[in-house]
Amino acid sequence: MTGAPYAVRLSSTAAKVLDTLPDHVEDTVWDVLDAAATDPWGFRQWHADDPEGHDVRFASVGQLSLTYWVNRPLHHLTVLNIVWLGS
């Protein structure tokens, strides 16, 4: 991808989850989002059988997963959900 990275926005649900995560997990969330902002289509499509869902993506690292939507016209990502299965 060329050009500026996409801006990252959090849904209210994702922001609430982020506030409860341990610091090391929050750091990982931001690392994944930095990668996604640079190459939004570098992670897999959330539902590959949905022809209209190309811009909803799913990133996972270990016990952490993020679902985000690529808003092409506004050049930003909206994080829809964060799930961490750790303790």
Q: What is the pLDDT of residues 4-13, one digit of tens each?
A: 899 999 999 9
Query: What contacts 78, CB < 8 A, 6 or more positions away?
Result: 9, 10, 11, 68, 69, 71
pTM for this prediction = 0.86
3-class state of residue 22 by DSSP: coil
Angle at 49 between CA 46 and CA 53, to 5 degrees: 50
pLDDT digits (tens, 9 = 90+) for 1-60: 457 899 999 999 999 999 999 999 999 999 999 999 999 988 877 767 777 667 899 999
